[in-house]
Structure 1
Amino acid sequence: MPETPAATGAPAVDIKPRSRVVTDGIEATTSRGMLRAVGMGDEDWDKPQIGIASSWNEITPCNLSLDRLAQGAKEGVHSGGGYPLQFGTISVSDGISMGHEGMHFSLVSREVIADSVETVIMAERLDGSVLLAGCDKSIPGMLMASARLDLSSVFLYAGSIAPGWVKLSDGTEKDVTIIDSFEAVGACLAGKMSEADLKRIECAIAPGEGACGGMYTANTMASVAEALGLSLPGSAAPPSADRRRDYFAHRSGEAVVNLLRQGITTRDILTKEAFENAIALAMALGGSTNVVLHLLAIAREADVELSLHDFNRIGDKVPHVADMKPFGKYVMNDVDRHGGIPVIMKAMLDEGLLHGDALTVTGKTLAENLADLDPDPVDGTVIHTFDNPIHATGGLTILHGSLAPEGAVVKTAGFDAAVFEGPARVFERERAAIDALAEGSIEAGSVVVIRYEGPKGGPGMREMLAITAAIKGAGLGKDVLLLTDGRFSGGTTGLCIGHIAPEAVDAGPIAFVRDGDLIRVDIAARTLDLLVDDAELDSRRSGWEPLPPRYTRGVLAKYSKLVRSAAEGATTG
């Protein structure tokens, strides 16, 4: 187990490493007066001040449980001997912002969340934090803030939504998630589903609070937080409405005070080995492609060297074993019924696929946590055994080649074609592609190229769920390859490759693709190539200018000036 000050006999740590400036001495008179107004008193000045940062709002069902959980975390901080101070940050709904201008702001919100949490904790001189989030960008935003601040900190997930249930007009009955809705839109537009059935699905997909149910981005990142060691073991899988979440909230509050007593901060936990554990779990789960972007960003904040090559290196060793939506059959509630994320982590540890000596927010190692929990073996259906995997290698792959010199990301867990070669259909941004599909002008065998959707050129690196779901709904999901310098939703299905870097606005090769150019992807070889000779590409570069910026003021204008390549996590700091 990594040594802490207490373990080495070093002087006792100060459990108020920063807040003494606002509580101690004559010069703190005014700040103490202000703190009395929020409920503190003389008996509280020796207690560590813990920020309870919550992205609660009523914008989306993902975050509805967080107000309740914040109360549990505050009670836990009091129980542990600290004093909690709650504050809020933003969160946007990817489901609501998908497919229109609003999606430009989704990835940007990750940076705003991290910056706002940093701003409050630095300004108020808080000693530690419990970070609460429930949606795709709020989770990595909170984890980035934790890594940047390097204080004692515990992350808690809001929890997953229950699957919906629908009965269609032909008598078909099935569980549904948000992805069924996007795909139903495509089917309806293609004349393959009635508007009446579309309405039935609309009314069924979100029966209550919680994040989208499959192994989409939110559940992937919540699982990854547990593997990183920043969440309490077993806390990722319970549903949002389940009162076990209140228990984990209370324990998270106690845990952060315990971390302060031991002198353990976030970067003691976020080692290279912790990130390797997180990547390994994402590979085994067949998680969202967005986990690549977010882990790169969190690692940058933690000053840990992490690159795209690490994902392929680890993915080579880790089988894909989770039969999870969007490509599989099951949702996070099913994982929870079979023991949660510790079940798969224990199986991975037994296979030598995790670093068991990695430190966690319990103050114990990952191996010690799993030994204490003693989870059951994997069930073999929702989570396959490692001698009977769904795929022999991890569910995510990084591609390189003449079309993606800096890299691209593909979710091989659902990529049915080992090799795909076809002529390009090029579109400047997503809307043009959606319109072409509605007109019936995208044919089987085509490679749809959507560019100027990268971090800088979009700006905001929008998710392409609307077009991918429409392609699948139109019956072309296995016959059309989609490439973009933008992103995909964690719920995207079909033949999709994103995060192509360099992006179009930075004169990446994707900027020079023309209709009819042959493009070839070879998953086994991990290559993505534009089959156009160098002389022709050089001629196309002559006199080239990128599309002008879409935004010249506001947050997107600032973001586009600061953001880095997707190959570096699309960070701005």
Structure 2
Amino acid sequence: MSRLTHHNEPVVINEKANPYRDCIQGLANQPITVVRLLRDAANENPALVKQQKFNVPEIRDVVGRLVENRPRVAIIAGAPDHPAHLLDRPHALMAALRVWEQGGVPFLFHVPVICDGTAQNNIGQSYSLASRNTTATAVNITFEGHSYHAAYVIAGCDKSPSAVVAGLAAADRARAHRGDQAPVWAVFAPAHVLKGGEIPEGTRRLLDQVANDADAAGHVDLGGDIRENMRYILQCTSDEAFAGLLERARLIGVIDGAMERRILDELATATCDSKGGICAFNGTGNSSRTMLAAFGLTPPELELLTDVPPYEAVASGVDTLFSVFNRPEYAIGNLLKANFANFVRVHNATGSSSNMLLHLPFMMRHAGFDITIDDYQAVRTETPVPEIFAHSLTENRDTFVLARQMAQGQNRGMESIYRVLSDLGVAMDLDAPTILGKTWAERIAGLDNPVDLSLGDKSVIRATPVRQRSGVDVITGSFFENCAVKTSGMSDHLLNHFNNHVFIVRYYENEHVCNDDFAAPDLVDRLMKTDGVDPALVKAIVKRNGGDASTGMTARDMLAQGYLSFAFVIGGQGPEAYGMPEMFSPSQNLRHHRILEASSMLITDGRYSGVTKGACIGHMVPEAFTGGGIGYLQNGDILRLNLTSLSLDWLERDAFLDGREVPGDPAKVADRKVIFDQRHQRMSNRQLDVAACNVMDHVSNAARGIVPEMVDRRAILPWR
């Protein structure tokens, strides 16, 4: 699908200002960086240079191009201490060669990328979301400070792609106000997909033995949970689940600490392919890949890579940029605006990460558009979409497989998704522009078979919906403004079972205490000894959820059958309190614990990993630290979840025991003020764990993307 072209006449950017012509210092300083970049590129790719009859330029050649206002293209790559960016260097050097060959001036800079897996379940998670805001600022500073025209972005994992989009979009918005510079154009080349690992045969035998020993010790639920997790491809996420399962095995005496350590070390050694890449699960990394393509920012040749791309693909990406220079309708801000609703639909249809509900308003507000998650939910409500992604880590349908299917011509990636949704009657805006200089209608014209039907159940993209309900929903309630639930992460059984369901609150002020409970051999006893839990409440809860506590069922039975349900609430994790870390570890422990998954849900003002499965509600606004109702909940409170009306309410206890359901707000209960004040003091003390320069102070709430105060205030443009 190569679009290799050469411009007969060099492209010159039309704009009033040219800092390199009008400021001798930049003209004196920057050419040596270009020459060094091209020399490195020539040394890395001698065959390409020879083939193109290309000679490494002297400084005079660079100076001439800068004075003429040829396109100054920033190649943005990531830090090599993140697995997704291990192959960035050869990719970036090929891009530099092509920019020069097309008459432009290439530059290269890198941004830091925190691996959310590495930061998981430790203090690093309090820096993870802050890194998104800081990276957006750093991209904007470098792009504006050195007056680049365009970007070729080797996009990485987690929240990093959203940060780069936001930084470039902010530059685009500022230039529109100044009026003397051209807008910002950008092409994104998402990093390659990481091939999932396999559990070594010896390690598999050890895990089988642990599962069998758990069965023999009377813990068949643990044995089953271990066997279930062994079905997954080996990724850092399945390793996290094994960590929780093996801790449970150690605490019940099935294994000792040495065996636990041995198995975990063997799993870690076998997890990542040496080439690195973005993990193959459909978490925030691959949801960001989907996002970039859905916004029309990614050429098909670069959408789903499994290795360093061939030169022809890189050249096509660079040529795409050169084809839209001096065409403001293809600037990054315009593509974001035109494709916003399309991305919401694609996000839901592909069952993508709940984290995108933070990153979407974050990007759009940096671009100047007044968008919150209310706009997301409005599009979702106006245009329901079915789930057309049959992504699975247990049935050989992960993102690496999706990339191979695209490479073999069995789908066309994002173009297939647009075609399928359009064919299913979803109101996609096919007139929206893309960076290719074509609308979506033009890109999918003639795509009569968007998916190779001969793949059958092996296909990741499905022309026939997997199910009718998917995506992420925005929930409102009696004690908060809004929060997010990943509907696509819940099975149909859980969606039905937890619809119009009541739960008993068990409250935690950090995830580590919650994890300790989940691993405890006496978990059921701990739950039944929760403050406020008494026989009258248990009987009322079980009856309300369709069971009968008078039949002699044990507490374990009532939990396993889902009649007795707990809401594990982890408060004080919001952006201002503690950087909004992911509660992935407790979510994995819940997901891979048969009793808990059947009975309970997690609630937090923090966030979850994009790969989270099960009943998990996050991003609660207002957060506890700023006085949100979640900070006033206490053990033994009653919550009612309704997934049809998308509501979560706190119910008055006395009325509930009397057979009535009266929604209310715990913050209005007189004696809760003392509880909240004590918690707030502990939150303030815990905030000192985070270095002062990365405390997220003066930011908007989660519904508005957690953007800096000034970004939030300037986001006034309508998007419709």
Q: Do Structure 1 and Structure 2 share a fold, with TM-score over 0.5?
A: yes
Alignment of 1:492-507 (within 5 A): 492-507=612-627
Give, in angstroms, the shift of residue 132 of structure 1: 2.0
Match of residue 438 from structure 2: 364
Inter-CA distance 173–111: structure 2 relative to 1 (3 Å threshold)? closer
Report the AA paired with residue 52 of structure 1. Answer: I
Are the equivalent residues in 2 in contact too, given 1:49–1:128 (CA < 8 A)?
Answer: yes
Conservation of the 8 A alpha-carbon contact between 1:118 and 1:145: yes
**Matched residues in 2 for 1:373 and 1:18: separation?**
42
State how far apart, in whole Å, the 2-side matches of 1:133 and 1:465 are.
23
More strand by share: 1
Runs of 4+ in 1 over 6 A off after TM superposition: 372-375
Instruction: Tell me whether 1:470 sits opposite 2:589 in the alignment.
Output: yes
TM-score by length of 2: 0.72
Aligned to 1:483: 603
Quick one: structure 1 residues 348 and 173, their matched pair in 2 at CA, closer, same or farther if it must change by over 3 Å?
Answer: closer
**Does residue 325 of structure 2 align to residue 249 of structure 1?**
no
User: SS of the residue aligned with 1:230?
Assistant: coil
Whole-Å Cα distance in 2 between the matches of residues 164 and 123 of structure 1? 42
The yes-or-no answer on 1:287 pairing with 2:287 is no
Structure 1 residue matching 2:25: 3-state secondary structure: helix
Q: Does 1:183 align with 2:241?
A: yes
Which shows bigger deviation, 158-167 or 27-36? Answer: 27-36
Conserved in 2, the CA contact under 8 Å of 1:18 and 1:125?
A: no
2:546 equivalent to 1:548? no
Name which of structure 1's ranges 561-570 and 437-446 shifts more when overlaid on structure 2.
437-446
| Structure 2 gaps, min length 5 | 1-9, 36-58, 173-183, 210-229, 528-558, 560-564, 653-662, 712-720
Matched, 1:221 2:288: yes
Alignment partner for residue 331 of structure 1, among 381, 385, 398? 398
Query: Structure 1, unaligned stretches of length 5 or more?
Result: 1-11
Could you say which residue in structure 2 is the equivalent of 1:15? 13
Q: 2:639 aligns with which of 494, 515, 519?
A: 519
What is the CA deviation profile of residues 514-571 of structure 1, one whole-angstrom value per residue up to 9, with x for unaligned ones? 0010112111221111213648641145454323153459765554212211111111
CA change 1:519–1:257 in 2 (3 A) is same
Deviates more, 1:174-183 or 1:205-214: 174-183
Conserved in 1, the CA contact under 8 Å of 2:154 and 2:191?
yes
Q: CA deviation at 1:346?
A: 1.7
Matched, 1:141 2:163: yes
The 2-side partners of 1:213 and 1:407 are apart by: 27
Name the SS for the 2:151 alignment partner: strand
**Per residue, is there more helix in 1 or in 2?**
2
Cα deviation digits, residues 480-515 of structure 1 (max 9, x gap): 210000000012122111111111011111011100
Deviation at 1:18, TM superposition (A): 7.5
Contact 1:230 1:360 in 2 (8 A): yes
State the distance in 1 between where 2:153 and 2:666 align. 52
Structure-2 separation of matches of 1:490 and 1:129 = 27
Asked if residue 152 in structure 1 is aligned to residue 185 in structure 2, the reply is yes
Structure 1 position 34, deviation (Å): 1.7
C-alpha displacement at 1:60, in angstroms? 2.3
**Relative to structure 1, is the Cα distance of residues 35 and 202 closer, same or farther in structure 2, using a 3 angstrom cutoff?**
closer
CA 1:424 to 1:553, structure 2 compared with 1: closer, same or farther past 3 Å?
closer
Corresponding position: 1:432 with 2:465? no
Give the Cα separation in 1 of the matches to 2:399 and 2:620: 29
Aligned to 2:125: 103
CA contact (8 A) 1:16 1:48 kept: no
What letter is aligned with 2:163?
A: G
How far 1:299 sits from its partner (Å)? 1.1
Residue 375 (structure 2) pairs with residue 310 (structure 1)? yes
Q: Larger deviation: 530-539 or 333-342?
A: 530-539
Task: Report if aligned partners of 1:152, 1:256 keep a CA contact under 8 Å in 2.
Answer: yes
Report the equivalent of 1:3.
none
Cα distance in 2 for partners of 1:453, 1:178 equals 23
More divergent stretch after superposition (133-142 vs 27-36):
27-36
Secondary structure at 1:41 match in 2: helix
Judge which range, 435-444 or 96-105, deviates more.
435-444
Separation of aligned partners in 1, 2:395 and 2:487? 13
Q: Does the Cα contact within 8 Å between 1:17 and 1:127 map onto a contact in 2?
A: no
Contact 1:426 1:448 in 2 (8 A): yes
1:421 paired to 2:502: yes
What's the offset of the Cα at 1:56?
A: 3.0
Q: Distance in 1 between matches of 2:110 and 2:665?
A: 55
Question: Does 1:204 find its partner at 2:270?
Answer: yes
User: Residue 529 of structure 1: SS of its match in structure 2?
Assistant: strand
What letter corresponds to residue 571 of structure 1 in structure 2? V
What percent of counterpart residues are identical? 23
Residues 173/140 of structure 1: CA separation in 2 closer, same or farther (3 Å cut):
closer
Larger Rg over CA atoms: 2
SS at the partner of 2:576?
Answer: coil
2:34 is equivalent to residue 34 of structure 1: no
TM-aligned CA deviation for residue 111 of structure 1: 0.8
TM-score with structure 1 setting the length: 0.89
Residue 7 of structure 1 corresponds to which residue in structure 2? none
User: Aligned partner of 1:31: which letter?
Assistant: G
